[in-house]
Amino acid sequence: MNASEFYRLNKFLLVFLLGWLVTSCNFRQGRKIGGNGVKVSTKDAHSYANTHEVKTTHLHLDLEVSFKHKNIYGVARHTLKNLSGTQKAIFDSKQLLIQKVTLGKEGKERETGFVIGPMDKDSLLGQPLIVDLEKSTTQVNIYYQTTEKSTALAWVDANQTESGQFPMMYTQGQAIHTRSWIPLQDSPSNRFTYSAKIHVKPEFLVLMSANNPTAKNTKGEYAFSMPQAIPSYLMALSVGDYAYHAYTDKVGVYAEKAVMEKASQEFIALPKMFEAAQKLFGPYQWGKYDLLIQHKSFPFGGMENPKLSFINPTIIAGDKSLVSVIAHELAHSWSGNLVTNESWEDFWLNEGITVYIEHRIMEELYGKETVQMLETLDYMELMHELKNIAQSNHPKDSRLHLSLKNRDPDEGMTSVAYVKGALFLKSLEKTLGRDKLDPFFIAYFRDFRFKPMTSEGFENYLKTTLLEPNKFTFNSNEWIYLEGLPKNCYIPHTNKLEAMKTLAAKTNRGEDIFAPVNKVKWVEVVPKNTRRRNQNPRFKKVTYQEKLDVRQYGTQEWQYYIRSLDPTLPVEVLNDIDQYMSFTKKANAEIKYEWFLVNIKRQNKTVYPALKEFLKATGRRKYILPLYEALCTNPSDKPWALSVFKEAKSGYHAIAQQSVAEIFSKKP
């Protein structure tokens, strides 16, 4: 750190501390929410922003990304619309250092007063940043820098990337992390357009949830525009040494050069998905749609950042068997990105509708049976989840509309939102027919595009435009506001997975389903030198060996097979299965994950070296959290798991690290 940087940092710290001191004396009035006396937004229990009084309509970022300091610094310029004549604008901020705040257009700025409220007691919401406005203010500029505690940011060292040459960084905003890299009104109820100028060293390409470059430039300066209004959680930035592959002039994929070949092959169906989605749900509203293959530490399967979905590299299975995740993120271009849950309590509106659309896209491309497998697997997970929720501290979490006050919005991220949400719509489809439901959705996305939506709003629209005109009765109220699954729930089924259940039942009974079996057949004996069929044919007995053709089954079938195995099977049987199937070594992440879970339950140490490799190779929360949890239920495995975590940790995103650490700190 040189002298001027040292000075700058200290100045930041000073302003930060002063802000804190002032506010801890000042914030005594008002309703105490979040333990710090500042009211949360009327629409959103997870934001302090007073968007009902004053709101950002456009955001311009001028930022420098420093890999040396692992921080981002610069200015966030908010264009505001003052709705009530208020003299205070409240922004969300978390783990940011605020240097100064000015009013007015660039070049004609003057400093204004601000205070930073104290952190809420669970450090969930962060700190309200309260800025003094003048009546005529239309522009607030916040000079800031991120810190090492900014939860939205992941910094990946060069040696952790595929190329090993250059570091990488990316952001993850959903649900309430954007405030840790940009001071803004961090509520999905508000939308704004944005533009940005991002400065990096020339070896990097910068990508955002905006109109993107397809190649590097020599200056390391990138300009972005996002003319469609988005909610704050969809702000996204990724910096790395990326290449681009265009499928068409509308869709393509970004990835590190080393994975581009595989990635572009794997997602070759993207143009077809893109067409199918529009045919079903109306025109795509965002210009281009690209994928960015993220670093392996990326904590989710995918994230629907507009124009540029971030995709976990575990989706590249080699056989295109996990592309439903792509259909899912693409589907969010309608449900979520176009019509957005107003608060995280209606997260099901984002995810449930998206799973429904995902499955419709998959059906267009791969047929009904493929979707039946996906939904059967989902249904199994939901059953498991409902059981857990019923026994938890929050038994009401099996409702679609949630109550998340004073709770982390991530707690709403269960299969209830995803699977129960989709089942609601599938049950509706069964009652009404697609000829009624499809036009309903096209109209829904047209009428509410670029707007927030609530459960109440959705139900009203459903009733007034679809149910009442057609004289249908449907228990939408029960689906949205009550626990568990209503009686009219559509229950998925497929013969393909039934066949796997039968196979698993054989394994459970002790049969070796993979071993060759001796079979007998009778074949006609045709005497030599005759071509004609014999009037009185003679047959002879032939014995031969038959083996189960395992290649006829795909990823979803094996997932179902593994899940149907008796959890008390002897370790020897598990090892025999592995001899034939090489689940431990060769399988894709989805199968490996299921396989490791079964083996951890039996403490089958033969798979532990591969399990360790797996835990080091991916940071996807959906895999690593249940695996660590399973390991921690075996007291003798816990120390081993901890040692693996210590090695793997640096390859996980901060939010994943925290979740895993919590698992270890739980009492057995």
The packing angle between helices 270-281 and 347-366, to 10°, is 120
For every residue of 14-79, DSSP letters joined together read HHHHHHHHHHHHHTTSS---TTSSPPPPSS-TT----TTTEEEEEEEEEEEEETTTTEEEEEEEEE
CA distances from 97 to 16, 30, 91, 187, 191 (A): 6, 25, 13, 20, 24
Question: Would you count residue 302 as binding ligand BES (CB under 6 A)?
Answer: yes
First-to-final CA distance of the chain: 45
Interacting partner of 363 out of Zn ion, ligand BES, none (Cβ under 5 to 8 A depending on kind): none
Kindly write out the interface string for residues 389-428 of this chain, putting x where it contacts ligand BES by CB under 6 A and - elsewhere: ---------------------x--x----x----------
Complex with ligand BES: residue 109 or 329, whichever CB lies closer: 329
Complex with ligand BES: residue 286 or 300, whichever CB lies closer: 300
Whole-angstrom distance, CA of residue 442 vs CA of residue 180: 35
Complex with ligand BES: residue 90 or 176, whichever CB lies closer: 176
CA distances from 543 to 110, 256, 512, 514, 524 (A): 93, 54, 20, 18, 14
Whole-angstrom distance, CA of residue 629 vs CA of residue 620: 14
Given 325, 377, 513, 597, the residue binding ligand BES (CB under 6 A): 325
Neighbours of 512 (CB within 10 A): 14
Q: How far is the CB of 329 from ligand BES (least distance, A)?
A: 6
Near ligand BES in 595-634, by CB under 6 A: 622
Q: How far is the CB of 105 from Zn ion (least distance, A)?
A: 38
Whole-angstrom distance, CA of residue 295 vs CA of residue 160: 9
Interacting partner of 622 out of Zn ion, ligand BES, none (Cβ under 5 to 8 A depending on kind): ligand BES
**Residue 190: both structure tokens together:** 């508000």
Question: Would you count residue 320 as binding ligand BES (CB under 6 A)?
Answer: no
β-partners of residue 98 are 144
Complex with Zn ion: residue 354 or 494, whichever CB lies closer: 354
Complex with ligand BES: residue 186 or 351, whichever CB lies closer: 351
Question: Would you count residue 317 as binding ligand BES (CB under 6 A)?
Answer: no
Given 67, 155, 247, 300, the residue binding ligand BES (CB under 6 A): 300
Kindly write out the interface string for residues 332-371 of this chain, putting x where it contacts ligand BES by CB under 6 A and - elsewhere: x------------------x--------------------
Given 167, 183, 301, 421, the residue binding ligand BES (CB under 6 A): 301
Interacting partner of 413 out of Zn ion, ligand BES, none (Cβ under 5 to 8 A depending on kind): ligand BES
Complex with ligand BES: residue 50 or 588, whichever CB lies closer: 588
Query: What DSSP element (H or E) covers 555?
Result: helix 555-563
Question: Would you count residue 329 as binding ligand BES (CB under 6 A)?
Answer: yes
Given 174, 297, 507, 604, the residue binding ligand BES (CB under 6 A): 174
Q: How far is the CB of 131 from ligand BES (least distance, A)?
A: 28
Kindly write out the interface string for residues 307-346 of this chain, putting x where it contacts Zn ion by CB under 5 A and - elsewhere: ----------------------------------------
Interacting partner of 300 out of Zn ion, ligand BES, none (Cβ under 5 to 8 A depending on kind): ligand BES
Stretch that binds ligand BES, among 178-186, 256-264, 294-302, 483-491 (CB under 6 A): 294-302
Interacting partner of 70 out of Zn ion, ligand BES, none (Cβ under 5 to 8 A depending on kind): none
Nearest to 49 by CA among 21, 83, 20: 83
How many residues make contact with ligand BES (CB under 6 A)?
A: 16
Nearest to 143 by CA among 208, 76, 96, 241: 76
Q: How far is the CB of 413 from ligand BES (least distance, A)?
A: 5
Interacting partner of 256 out of Zn ion, ligand BES, none (Cβ under 5 to 8 A depending on kind): none
Whole-angstrom distance, CA of residue 467 vs CA of residue 453: 19
Q: 106 φ, ψ to 5°?
A: -50, 135
Interacting partner of 236 out of Zn ion, ligand BES, none (Cβ under 5 to 8 A depending on kind): none
Neighbours of 264 (CB within 10 A): 20
Stretch that binds Zn ion, among 188-196, 354-362, 448-456, 528-536 (CB under 5 A): 354-362
Stretch that binds Zn ion, among 309-317, 348-356, 510-518, 536-544 (CB under 5 A): 348-356
**Residue 663: both structure tokens together:** 């698992």
Complex with Zn ion: residue 232 or 354, whichever CB lies closer: 354
Go through the chain and tell me how many residues it has: 668
Q: How far is the CB of 117 from ligand BES (least distance, A)?
A: 25
Q: How far is the CB of 281 from Zn ion (least distance, A)?
A: 15
The set of long-range contacts for 158-167, using a CB threshold of 8 Å and a minimum separation of 24, is 160/295, 160/297, 160/650, 160/651, 161/240, 161/241, 161/256, 161/295, 162/256, 162/257, 162/258, 162/259, 163/241, 163/256, 163/257, 163/258, 165/241, 166/203, 166/204, 166/240, 166/241, 167/67, 167/240
Stretch that binds Zn ion, among 168-176, 236-244, 347-355, 379-387 (CB under 5 A): 347-355
Interacting partner of 46 out of Zn ion, ligand BES, none (Cβ under 5 to 8 A depending on kind): none
Question: Would you count residue 578 as binding ligand BES (CB under 6 A)?
Answer: no
Whole-angstrom distance, CA of residue 655 vs CA of residue 176: 12
Whole-angstrom distance, CA of residue 582 vs CA of residue 569: 18
Nearest to 357 by CA among 343, 379, 374: 374
Nearest to 332 by CA among 359, 351, 312: 351
Whole-angstrom distance, CA of residue 357 vs CA of residue 493: 19
**Residue 546: both structure tokens together:** 């038959």
Helix or strand or coil: residue 449? coil
Given 60, 328, 359, 653, the residue binding ligand BES (CB under 6 A): 328
Given 303, 462, 497, 565, the residue binding ligand BES (CB under 6 A): 303
Q: How far is the CB of 622 from ligand BES (least distance, A)?
A: 5
Whole-angstrom distance, CA of residue 132 vs CA of residue 107: 19
- Kindly list the residues in this chain that would bind ligand BES in the complex (CB under 6 A): 174-175, 300-304, 325, 328-329, 332, 351, 410, 413, 418, 622
- Kindly list the residues in this chain that would bind Zn ion in the complex (CB under 5 A): 351, 354
